[in-house]
Amino acid sequence: MDWHTRKVLSRRLSNTTDAEFCVEALRDALVRYGTPEIFNTDQGSQFTTPRFTEVLERHQVRISMDGRRGRWLDNVFIERLWRSLKYECVYLHAFETGSELGAGLAGWIAHYKWAASAPGTGWTHA
């Protein structure tokens, strides 16, 4: 997610804690949107694995991770996105399969992108 626009830059869905789906989403975002100065994430195992951090280091991106005193603001936008997604989509629907979940999430994110770019929100995206 881009902090300025609140745009979801790339996403993947996985039912494992393997890091590869996160690495794929990161590479996709870098190709599509370029290299950021700072990448913020929490300290989950998918984001601290060398496979993930090495991609950022190769692009000379500074890494900021949650968990340090006073750094809760680093993740406030993405945490709000996850909270909204869970309460407005996941908890309201009884998705039976991964495909149904994927389609439901894609629809919600498309709506989120539209809402984030609506007049009066102060948000815009490309």
Set out the domains of the chain in order of their start, with CATH numbers: 20-116 (3.30.420.10)
**Cα separation values, 5 from 93, 97, 126, Å:** 28, 31, 9
**Cα separation values, 7 from 11, 15, 51, 114, Å:** 11, 24, 25, 10
Give every CB contact of residue 27 below 8 A, 6+ residues apart in sequence. Answer: 55
- Is the Cβ–Cβ distance between 72 and 42 less than 8 Å? no
Helix, strand, coil percentages, rounded to 5, for the chain: 50, 5, 40
What was the pLDDT predicted at 76?
A: 78
What was the pLDDT predicted at 71?
A: 59
pLDDT digits (tens, 9 = 90+) for 55-74: 999 999 998 876 555 556 66
Q: Tell me what the pLDDT averaged over the chain comes to.
A: 82
pLDDT digits (tens, 9 = 90+) for 13-30: 888 888 999 999 999 999
What was the pLDDT predicted at 69?
A: 54
What was the pLDDT predicted at 126?
A: 38
Q: Does 48 score more than 60 pLDDT?
A: yes
Give every CB contact of residue 98 below 8 A, 6+ residues apart in sequence. Answer: 13, 15
Average pLDDT over residues 29-47: 88
pTM of the model as a whole: 0.73
What was the pLDDT predicted at 47?
A: 87
Average pLDDT over residues 28-52: 89
What was the pLDDT predicted at 107?
A: 92
Q: Does 125 score more than 50 pLDDT?
A: no
What gap in Å lies between CA 61 and CA 13, rounded to an integer? 24
Output phi, psi for 124, to 5 deg.
Answer: -140, 160
Amino acid, single-letter form, for residue 78? I
